[in-house]
Structure 1
Amino acid sequence: MSFAAMPDADLDEMLGGFPVLADQPRVLEDLPGGLTNRNVKVTTPTGVYVARCCDTSTSLLAIDRDVEYENSRAAEEAGVGAPVVDYRPDLGILLIGFVPGHTLSDDDFDRPGVIAKVAAGCRTLHEGPRFGNDFDMFEIQPRYLKTALDNGFRIPSDYDAYAGQFSDIRAALAGDEASVPCNNDLLAANFVEDGDHVWLIDYEYSGNNDPCFELGNVWRECRLSLDQLEELVTCYHGRAERRSIARARLQGTVSQYGWTLWGCIQNGSSPLDFDFWEWGMERYERAVEEFRGPDFTRLLDDVRTPDRRRTS
């Protein structure tokens, strides 16, 4: 039985096997989101937790839950991840502390100061302990494509028509950016605003990566404007950098081209009642818009051109 269909009584019995939850009355409340796992808020008289429950019987997306656990601990050490309480790989449950605050929506990025907080949160994670694995969409996308084709899953009919532009971006970005620990999946709901602090949650796709992928993915997943992308990159670096802005924009396009296939795989395999095809096509349309846009060639040139540094 998958966690999605599991009755609360059965899940509650499983949660009783965690020492911190044993012999305590528990109130379970499903949290929104979670397209590859079930997130359940667990309230007890002595603490509030979140149980991240995943079906360990499926592996088409190649999510490594042991890596998620280790990277969640590293994010906690960095100061932006929720406290890691316990992990039961045999049950497929990661238990973390519930972080209070306001879960962001796309509209929140229009509020003054939010983009600066998000940039600071990303920078704090990126300056923290390195993760135990790497994440590179240029390597993941071909694996996703093979999975989709091998299983006969539906993909956009003209998907391969943009393989050349994808390769052009890879060539332009290659070899000149150090990797840092990245979440890699920062949609708005994975930010929790707590005063001047922002928590970054959900590390199932985490890994060491180009920091510009993180920023570009935020731009696209949170539906920011190009002006907001520039503000995000400027806040992150502390100065406006034409090359870094172009790099983040291209990496944002890379993310959307790759996540398109994630949606296709989920559309063909997930038991959840969710329109994964529409989800994937939204990202595909964003990628195609950039591939075919008037700025594409200029962005490739910009990332190859170092920014001029002021000298005193």
Structure 2
Amino acid sequence: MMKAVGSAESQAERDIEAAMLDARALFGEGARYAPVSGGISNSNWRVQSACTSRDWFVKIPGNGTEMFIDRVAAMDASRKAAAAGLGPKIYEDLAHQGVEINDFIPDRRPSTHADFGNPANRAAAIAAYRQMHALPALGLTKTVFDMIDEHHVQMAELGAPVPRHAEWIALNTKMARDAMQASGLDLVPSFNDPMPGNFMIGADGSIMLIDYEYASMNDRCYDLGIWFGEMFYTPEVEAELIEEYFGRVTPEIVARVTVHKALADVKWAAWSMVQLKVSALDFDFYKYGVWKLMRFQQITSDPAWKEQLRRL
């Protein structure tokens, strides 16, 4: 249900109303708003003009997100993706406040895990990743190792919970870091955040990407590894997608993607513990982080783990 400015009942609604007033030149008088569900970092809104059929998507930064999101870099990535037709048009009226405004895209819908059980949708996602990786270079370079280091410093500063198997995690993360850095990183503009809702599917089956706040120059295999992990793909489907992206499947590429999949779990587990301490959103960050580490331990406990590191 759309609400009018002046009817706010919560702090989140007061925040979006303040943003709408600040950007009244864009939205016009009498614009209304409603929440958009799905995010676990920020509060998201649909704003509708009173005099036209025009709608916008507005993202209000969540509490504490400035600790790990560079809003200037996010705008840079959003701008370049929009110029390439990969992402929706972006408006910079409130960019100085860190508030992101995009065109609302009603002719597309957010994907689900079930959508990517369909081979055609998987191929469309790979096409979107190829387009992302071909964008002009982004202003921010932030590898998975940079992300992990950043979150571990934040965890210590906040007194966040430390995993029971912290030494095992640290040892295997260091092994992966040493092997990956020895082989060299293939840095490209990377999306870094494959939540299903960030893949917007059109009636023609094509995919646009939204939400570039974690985008950076990073290894292209991180993007594939984190997406494979998010979707719980079998080794057979992973091989299919590696071939779709690279045109071939080799033990070296499989190893690189698998190691990045494990590292992504370390990153997002640490992110979860930071969010546990700073976020005001109603989400079980502790459970999410523990689950990520369970999968990291599953990958790194496999006898194939050391062989994968050698193949990098």
Query: TM-score of the superposition, structure 1-length normalised?
Result: 0.89
Residue 79 of structure 1 contacts residue 124 of structure 1 at CA under 8 Å; is this kept in 2? no
The whole-number CA distance in structure 2 between the counterparts of 1:6 and 1:178 is: 43
Aligned counterpart for 2:58 among listed residues 51, 75, 79: 51
| Contact 2:46/2:55, CA 8 A, preserved across alignment | yes
The answer as to whether partners of 1:4 and 1:38 remain within 8 angstroms in 2 is no
Instruction: Count residues in correspondence.
Output: 299
Residue-by-residue CA offset, 1:60-83 (whole Å, 9 max, x unaligned): 633111111111101112221111
Q: Secondary structure at the match of 2:100?
A: strand
**1:9-47 deviations in whole A, cap 9, x for unaligned?**
662353133222122x32322111222211111222242
Alignment of 1:155-234 (within 5 A): 155-174=162-181, 175-194=183-202, 195-234=204-243
SS of 1:156's equivalent in the other structure is coil
Unaligned runs of 5+ in 2: 1-7
SS of equivalent to 2:114 = helix
2:131 is aligned with 1:129: no
Deviation at 1:59, TM superposition (A): 5.3
Partner of 1:285: 294
Distance 1:258 1:4, change over 3 A: farther
Preserved contact between residue 81 and residue 132 of structure 2 (Cα < 8 Å):
yes
1:183-234 superposed Cα distances (whole Å, 9 cap, x missing partner): 1011211101112321111111110110000000001122222222222221
Alpha-carbon distance between aligned partners in 1 of 2:234 and 2:299, rounded to the nearest angstrom: 13
Higher helix share: 2
Alignment correspondent of 2:3: none
The residue number in structure 2 matching 1:34 is: 39
| Counterpart code for 2:211 | D
Q: Percent identity?
A: 23
Give the 3 Å change call, closer, same or farther, for CA 249–5 of structure 1 in structure 2. Answer: farther
Q: Give the letter for the 1:189 counterpart.
A: G
Partner amino acid, structure 1, of 2:73? V
The 1:184/1:157 distance shift into structure 2, 3 A limit, reads same
Q: 1:6 aligns with which of 3, 11, 23?
A: 11
C-alpha contact 1:148 1:265 (8 A) present in aligned 2: yes
5+ residue gaps, structure 1, are 304-312
Preserved CA contact (<8 Å) 1:216 1:229: no
Please tell me the residue identity of whatever aligns with 1:156: P
> How do 1:286-305 residues align onto structure 2 when only pairs under 5 Å count?
286-303=295-312
Shift in alpha-carbon separation, 1:244–1:7, aligned structure 2, 3 A:
closer
Deviations 1:243-270 (A, max 9, x none): 2122111101001011111001111221
Equivalent-residue separation in structure 1 for 2:15 and 2:164 (angstroms): 43
The alpha-carbon distance between structure 1 residues 87 and 285, as it changes in their structure 2 partners (threshold 3 A), is farther
The 8 Å contact of residues 124 and 205 in structure 2, kept in 1 or not, is answered as yes
Instruction: Find the aligned partners of 1:58 and 1:7 in 2 and give their Cα distance.
Output: 15
Q: Give the counterpart of 1:269 among 278, 290, 302.
A: 278
Q: Distance in 2 between matches of 1:85 and 1:59?
A: 21
Are 2:110 and 1:103 equivalent residues in the alignment?
A: yes
C-alpha RMSD of the superposition: 2.1
Partner SS state of residue 148, structure 2: helix
The answer (yes or no) to whether the contact 1:79–1:125 under 8 Å persists in 2 is: no
Instruction: Give me the whole-angstrom Cα distance separating, in 1, the residues matched to 2:248 and 2:145.
Output: 28
Q: Which amino acid aligns with 1:79?
A: G
Helix, strand or coil at the partner of 2:22: coil
* Residues in 2 aligned to 1:233 and 1:4: alpha-carbon distance in whole angstroms: 49
Aligned counterpart in structure 2 of residue 247 of structure 1, from 256, 260, 267: 256
Q: Distance in 1 between matches of 2:119 and 2:186?
A: 31
For residues 186 and 287 of structure 2, the distance between their equivalents in structure 1, rounded to whole angstroms, comes to 34
Q: 1:253 to 1:26 in 2, by over 3 A?
A: same
Structure 1 residues 234 and 93, CA gap change in structure 2 (3 angstroms): same
In the superposition, relative to structure 1, how do residues 169 and 10 fare at CA in structure 2: closer, same or farther (>3 Å)?
Answer: closer
Q: Counterparts of 2:246 and 2:65 in 1: how far apart (Å)?
A: 37
Of residues 117, 127, 142 in structure 1, which corresponds to 2:124?
Answer: 117
Contact 1:187-1:222 within 8 A present in 2 as well: no
Deviation at 1:90, TM superposition (A): 4.5
